[in-house]
Each structure stands twice: as C-alpha cells, then as structure tokens.
A and B are shown apart, each in its own frame.
Chain A
C-alpha cells in the first residue's frame, strides 16, 4: 500500500528524466484541449432533449405531458425544449445545475422515481425544488422568451392586464403564478392550495433571529424536545410566534395566547374572547403545568366563560416562518373573493364580528371548492379582518352582516 502511495507521489512530484519539458507541456495542453472538448461535448450532449428523455422516467412521465401543452406544439412552430426551461443559460449557473443534476441521475439509478406511481408520489418534492430555483432567479429561463419589457399589455385581456402590470411592477417571478404550464401539477393530497408553495419557498429562505416575532405559513407540529420526537400539539397557519432559539433543524418558539377554561383548554386563541384558533395542544399537555403557564384569567361577558391568558414554549421544525402575515392574507383574500362570489355577493370582511364568522362560514363553505387547509386560512383571514379589528363604521352584526346570499 505504501508503495502505491510512493509511486503516485513520485509520478506527480519527481521531475521527468526521460521526456522533455516541451513534450510534456504540449502533451498536457493537447490532453487539456481534448478533455475540454470532451467536457464541452458532454455538456452539450447532456443539454439536448434527446439526453433528457433518454431515461425512461422523463420519457414516460414528463414528455407526454409536455407534448400536450402549448410549449410543445403551437401555431407558430416555436418549441421549448427541456433545457430551455430547466438548464440555466449562462455558464457558471449551468455547471452548478449540472452538479445538482447528479441527484436526479442518482434517483434514476436507485429507482426512487422508477415507476409512474413512485414518480407521482415524489413529484411534489421535485417540483418544489424547481419552483424554488425559479423563485430564486426570477424565472430567468422563462424570461429568455417572455420578458416583461417586451410585453404589450394593451393587447392583453383586461383581467390579464391587471395581473400582468402589477406583476411587472414588482418584477415578480413568472412561476409564482404560472405553475404547471408544461407539466401536470403535483398531486397534493388534501388538495393543498398551490399558492402556498411560493410562501413555503419564501419561508425556507427567511432569515430568523431569536427574540423576534414571525408567522407560520403552514401549520406545524409542536414538540417537547429539540429532536422533534415527542409531539405535543400543533400551531396553526398565520399564528404569530416568538422565536427563542434555533438548533439544527429545530426551532424553539414561544406561544402567548388565550384559551377557554372549559374542558381541557387545549385550543388556544389569538385574543381574549375571540375564537381565532392559533394552536391546538394534545389533551394531556393542555393541563400540564410544566408546559403551560397561566398568566391571567378573565370572564368573557358575551358567553360567561372564563378565559385564561397562557404562555408556553415548544420546538418545531424550522423553515416555515415569515416576517409578515400579509402574503398569507393576500392568498386568503383572493380565495375568498373568488370562491364566495360564485353564488352571491361576498360580504365585506368587517361586516361580521370575529365570533360570528365561523358560524356563517361553516354554513356556506360546503358549496365552494375550497380545500380544507385553505378554508382554515380563509376563515382565519375573515376573523382577523372582522368588525372587531376594523376601524370602519360597521359594528357587530351590522346589516351588511347578514348573508347576502342568492339562495332561495
């Protein structure tokens, strides 16, 4: 073994005694040229559609999907090929992307995505990676062909104009809105709203510092330990939490909320007397004095129930916090305006009080196609923008407060 090392060391370090320096340098140069050529040829070869679809995963899954879209077949005969969208066009990024691509090759070789079913199961992860890349580079590859500066907004449909002008003003990444333009969207069990994917990718890039307050972009499980093994409950989307510390993949947060002192007191609300669900503890944990610190008690005159101000800290997986709640409300507002005007005029948010919204929402949400997760966010949005929070003239149960339903 030692001989082998010595041989290798000598080969590189001891000057040649038999071959001239010129020959060596020239040979090295030629070898370099050849390998560069090989590298380039390899780069080029792996950048061709033929290479992409040479593996059966791509060929069987993604190609047939792409072929159904306008990016494959259209009246003007311009076609987007795989690398046009999925490989960066400048050299450095391209090389970086190639390095990352080894992961996909690995997945292909070990069969992680070997069958249609496995691929469909794994597609969300793959898509989210690609969406995150587009989000980070502002959908640079899309914009090689579709750039804001070359768009004639006046030629668009009026509704498109509204959307596109404001997107252009913010230099928004195309894929923020245009997901699934060339392939089928990943199946999200429970039909999670794809609009949240952007928030999740934003949250993964959010820098978080201890002592500051943030908002959950998706619900998260809560744990007693930093290893995230002992689950004690969950925290709801759009809940405000204070970050205490971050260790590895875990984050310790502090919840300062309210609860009703009836039953276990396991549902925690954001404000005194207002039923805006913010966290849900497991039954046995809700009464654990070691976890829950009761700061104060107060009777709610509207119901006669005693409410307690409570505080607790818990661990959760990091990466789902953002520093502003507004992007969450933007998604909720859009969903509310669209889904709730199918049958009738949707009432203004501030036309009901916080505790009236759940009853009305529960009575009507069944007529919409809102998925369960989005429904929770929409309800929370409505409650958080109700007459209890609004400075407008509408009081609780104002006339606008009744359902403006188009039902019988």
Chain B
C-alpha cells in the first residue's frame, strides 16, 4: 500500500509537472473547434499530415510541438477520438527513459517476482537496457531453448507500415532465436476458427456486400449484437470513415420505412439510437435458443428454402432431428421453449421468422456474441439460419460478420496497398541460435491460453482438432501490445506473472503491461517518426504519408532503432536493416506499391511528389455481393469448407469428439449466466465489456483531455439501467464497487435508459490500476478484465470468453483510493530510494 501511495504521489507530481511544462497542450483546443471558432480560418492543407487508427489527420506544429490536430480534409465523418491525439503524445504516462524494475535490476532473473506490479523502477541508459535485453535472450536460448521464450502476438500496433512494431519485434528477436508464438486473437478468436468449417472462410475479416447494394436491395436488416456506429470510428489501417455515408442513407430509409432495421441486442446500442431503428431485446448469451426457435418456426411453417439447402449445403438432415427434439436432449426447440430462456415472447419469435423469410434479409453480426463461452455456436447457428432463408449470395441477402469493422462494405478501389517492413528473417538466413527443439511443448499457443501455460505447465489441451502441450515459458516480450488490458481475469494473471523470470515491454505510454514488466523500453509515438500507411483497410482508398510531426520525446526511439540496437549486439544489424535507413525504407515501400499499381494501370506520382503532397487517393471500385460467385456456380467457386459447400453439419468437427462443440450448432448452458441462469443468485448482473466508444481498446485511455469527457469521478464509467441503480441506492455519478469472486474494481456509475435490468457495461480497454502488487488488490480505475472469466470458449477455438461474466455492484462508501493507472512508474535509485523529479 505504501509503495502504491508513493506511486500515486509521484504520478501526481509527474502530471502536474507536465502540466506546468506545457500548459497549453493538455487543454489544447478540441479538434473540431475549427467549425465553431470563426475568425481564425487556417488553411490546414499546409499542415503536416499523418495517419492513425482513428483517421488521417492534419497537425499544426509550432516549435517542435503539436498544438492542433484536425481531421484530414477528405474525411467527412471524423471521430472525436482524434481530439485525444495531442493528449496521447503529451501524456503524463509517457515512457520517458529505459527503466528496469528495482528488484530485477538487483537480482536479474532471480528477482522477487511478487514485487511485480509495485511500479518501482530504476532508470538506465539505452546501452544498459539493450545489453540486459540481449543478455537475457542469450541466457534463455543457451540455458533452456526456444520453448522458454514467448513473443506476445501483437494486436492493434500503431499504424504505419514501415514501423509496424510487431514486425520489428518478430524479425529482431527472430534473428536471435525462435520463440513460442500465439494463434488467433482476442477479438474474433471463436469466429475465425469455426467459420472456415461452416462457410469456408474466416468471414470476420472479409470484405462484405457493398453498402449501395444493401441499401438498394435489402428490405430487412438485422444488426445482431452489433454496434457499427460505435465501432466504425476506428480501422485497422488509417481509417477513412467512408461507411458512415451509407449509415446516413440508411437512417433516411428507416425514417421513410423503405428498409426495416432491427437491432437485436440486450442493450439499446448507439447504432439503434442513431438509426432510430427497432430494438429487439434478448437475454444475454441466449442468442442460440432464439435462433433455434426461429429455425423451428421456419420448418414448422414451411418457410425455409429447400432448394437452396439441397444445392448449396450439406447436413441439414442431421441438424433437423435436433431442432425437432429427436436427439439426445429430447427437447423440441419451439418458440415457447426459447422464450423461457431468451426472454423474447414466443409470438415475437414467430413474427421474426416470418419477417426474415418474407423479405430480402441481410443479417449483420457483431463480434460480441462469439467472445463468450461456446462463442462458436451463435456464429454457426447464424449461418444455418441464413442458409435456411436461402439468401446467401443474393444482393442484400445472407449473412455478414464484418460490416462493423474498418469500413467493410465500401467497395475496394482495386489498388495495391503498401507492403510492410519485413517480419521474417530474410530467406536463406538462420537465427543466431538455430534451435528448433521445443522439448515436446507446442511452439504456438492459442492466444487467450497464454496464462494457462504459466499456471498449468505441460498440460495438454484440445485445440481445433489437435493437442497443445502448454509451454511454461520463462521470458516474455511484448511490443506495442497491452497484454494487461486484453487478457481476462487480472488476479489470475498476477499469479501467473510471478512465475516469469523476465518480462520486456516496449511501448510509448506506461500501460499496465509496462508496470508488470522488468525491462521497459520507450518507443516513440507514431507521430514522432516518418512512415506511410494504407488509407482504408477495405476500400484501399489511397496511401497516406505519415510525416513526422515532432522529434521523439524524452529518450524514446522508433521500433526500427530499438531493434537495430538489439541486433547490433549480435552483429546482425546490417542484415536487420538491409542497409537502409528509415526514409529509404519508406520510399521503398512506396515505390514497390507504385510499381505494383503500375501493372494495373493505376497511376501514382513518384515518391518525392507524393511525400510533399502527403497522400494519393484512388477512385471508387465496383460494388460487390459476398458469396455471389458461390451461388452462381457452387462447383467452380467452391467454398473453403471440407466439402466445398455450406456445412450445416460438420463431420470434421464431430470427429473431434468435443463435448462443448459438436457436429452442429447446439444450445449449451453457460458456466455463469444472468436472468435466472447459473450463478445469477449471487451475482445477478451480466457485465458486457464491449469495444469502447471513445478509445481504441486501451489506446487513448491515457489521453487526459479525452478521458475527462467520459470519466466519472476520474474513474471508468459502468453503465447501468435505472432499475438496477435504484435497487442498489446508486445515483448517476456515484462511485461504485464492481465485484465478484475473481476481483473488484472502482468505477463511476453512469445510469442510462439504454440498459435493461440485469445488464451492465464497462468498456474494455480501461487501464488497470491496482492499489498494489498483491493478488486481489482493488483496481482503482475500472478495468473490466479485473472481474472477467478466463476460460476457453470451447475445445475447438479456446478463445476468450470475456462476455461470460456476472458481477454485483454496490455504492462505494468511504475514502476512495486514488487512481494509480496513469502517470508512469515510481522512479527509484538502485537502493530503492525515490528519485525526485528534477
């Protein structure tokens, strides 16, 4: 407690220090002030240009300081997230110097690991830090081997193809030796594993039917657990926000009743509110019973497309008996049966089935329903439903799992996008330690099971038809990746982390991953380096120059420089860089892209001209219908399933013999479920941890100006319905404690009519700030993964089950501990004495 209080004081000192140094910056004018502040009309096209997940930006730089950020002039639907960029660069949480955890500094890999998380760090020079990093890699490869090193799968690295941090880590570390990698991701872990068996493609990251086609042809659109208006603010590459133009049109069509839109969700989403669409409530985690009952109605009322099932699918005959209650569970999946579970009245279920069958119906699923226990099932059953409706491959019909992502549905320009800094060791080259012996352990672990590997070393688990032997790795490296945000169940993580000998974190802001690391290296932000990025992940709208806005702050360096420094320690730096510097690489990536587009007769200016102008844009492509080619000729354009057809029943999955993922979609009760399900007597509230509205996962949480627009009493908001709040004596703005047997956190109550009884929300990505390193410590800011459940979705995908989570909430009484999540480490000298800020 003492340490953390000291940490807090220190953090406050840092914050006020920063505020004093740069009084204008943290209170910088909001990005959209331009429209509201007449008189000062500046030509922003003369400002420098850069890219981000939140959109392309123009930045005003005065005296090596970013003083204003505005949306790129082409962006017609910019997000307020870019208001957070200045605060991100000048955050009190910046990693300023290479830092080493106190006890690790003293005893290296033999340190007391229970101190991890106490946030006491010693400042070192870059040379010392990189020497330690290198010596640890040597020790691990020599004493143990590749099974003992884990390189964390990088998720939403900052945009920029040259500086893509995962590529630098994998290449740099890969030149030294091999390591345990990860499979899958936290966003679509269940979906991307199940759908190739059913629809023959991962689907979750696939281009979807073009919006102009949907707006023209669809009569009914069902957004199933999907909130695109919220989620389209960010994109995998620099986001164009082009899809919003179509949602604007859809809003008009909802108003004039030419398209019926149903948002099927326990919560009234941002999308439903924006479109003024119908809301269809469903109990959390009970989408499968609802879908089964819709399917049951389609059969009973003979509304399903038998010709489509015969021509394009396999295995309906083996699914039908389950629907009719003729197999093991002997329960007919009638609307009455489902109503009792999912909370949708039986007659309404029949009505939904008739509506879907009558009209050209486009089902559009979000990712939330597969981030739960048995998350494979709702996706599979959705595909079965779409197959029964027989509209897959028709314009404006069928099913999508991606329209909420990166402007999917905006047709592609067809232009090639720039490649990236090479991730692999060059062809023909070997790592320094050319050892492939993983001692019988798996070299790849399903990403959400990396904690299991530490707590249950050597355990054999099922995964996608195979066995994985969990490697008890001893050293882990995370670069541009906040493991302490995305993984579930913090206290379990703390226990596991104590088994690690050495953890290296590379980042620009002091995330909880840095706090729980041993060697922390300061990377610069994407705004402190030169790069290029694709503009529009699916529309391939153009190429954006990411012109360096300011020099790297403090002692931060680009990932390129960091790993060049590391590889120099084993004399492979020339190979690492291929003898090229930053701008030569940027130019090469651009010119390679230009050459490829030249072959397609798509003109791009030479690099110098491009760099000066800052962007090149390509025209709209042709509209497109997903699976139309399959429908047109199922033999020639076979799906990627084992049979080439839609597999309603998968013999392949059936042969795996899993109890929690069988040969066809099945309703299975959850470990814990609200609204009368298991565990709801003790912890009655279902906690959903959706993607945030004003952040990208945990990115921008540290941006104070932006955080201040949504935080309540300095804490992350927990959204709660008026009835649940009243029943607990909670008022809007109150500080509350959210808890279950797995952990506890403080949050600010945000009472909203959008939330029904029994459903609460904390957006994922809220920074973890425990009161101390001890297991069970209260989280002071409100990271929902403090209380979520860390189990695999099933033996098939082993994906995260973040949305299977029950909690109770109470009003917090007494003196609340200060927020410890932000403000960086407590700097100490090697004797542990606190170093005063200069």
Chain A interface residues toward B at CB < 8 A: 157-159, 162, 166, 184-185, 187-188, 191, 260, 262-267, 275, 280, 300-305, 334, 337-339, 341-346, 355-364, 366-367, 369, 371, 394-408
Contacts and interface: CB of A to CB of B under 8 A. Distances in A.
A179 to B, nearest CB: 11
Contacts of B651: 301-304
A408 B201 contact: no
23 contacts: A157-B580, A158-B574, A158-B578, A184-B598, A260-B643, A262-B635, A263-B635, A280-B636, A305-B314, A338-B419, A341-B422, A342-B161, A355-B640, A355-B641, A358-B639, A371-B599, A395-B466, A400-B444, A402-B464, A404-B153, A404-B444, A407-B188, A408-B156
Contacts of A187: 599, 601
Contacts of B422: 338, 341
B652 interface: yes
A359 B640 CA distance: 4
Interface string B633-657: 0111011111111010001100100
Interface string B459-479: 000011110100000000000
Contact of A408 (B186, B429, B444): B186
B166 A406 contact: yes
Contact of A361 (B203, B423, B445, B640): B640
B428 interface: yes
A263 B423 contact: no
Nearest to A394: B466
Contact of A402 (B184, B315, B655): B184
Nearest to A341: B423
B12 to A, nearest CB: 34
Contacts of A405: 184-185, 192, 205
Nearest to A387: B466
Interface of B: 153-157, 161, 166-167, 170, 181-188, 192-193, 195-197, 199-207, 236, 314-315, 412, 416-417, 419-420, 422-424, 426-429, 442-446, 463-466, 468, 537-538, 574-575, 578-580, 593, 596, 598-601, 634-636, 638-645, 647, 651-652, 655, 697, 797
Q: Is the interface of B mostly helix, strand, loop or mixed?
A: loop
Given A275-B642, A345-B423, A402-B183, 8 more contacts: A185-B598, A266-B636, A302-B651, A305-B314, A359-B201, A369-B416, A402-B193, A405-B192
Contact of B596 (A157, A359, A369, A408): A369
Contacts of A341: 167, 420, 422-424
Contacts of A406: 153-155, 157, 166, 185
Given A360-B202, A362-B200, A399-B445, A266 B635 contact: yes
B697 to A, nearest CB: 8
Given A166-B428, A369-B419, A407-B188, A359 B183 contact: no
Contact of B466 (A159, A355, A397): A397
A404 B183 contact: yes
Contacts of A303: 314, 642-643, 647, 651
Given A305-B643, A403-B202, A407-B188, A162 B638 contact: no
A299 to B, nearest CB: 11
A267 B634 CA distance: 10
A320 B570 CA distance: 47
Given A162-B429, A301-B651, A357-B640, A399 B202 contact: no
Contacts of B465: 395-398, 401
A79 to B, nearest CB: 22
A343 to B, nearest CB: 7
Given A263-B634, A398-B466, A403-B184, A359 B599 contact: no
A188 B599 contact: yes
Contacts of B205: 363-364, 367, 405, 407
A373 to B, nearest CB: 12
A362 B639 CA distance: 9
A408 B236 contact: yes
B381 to A, nearest CB: 19
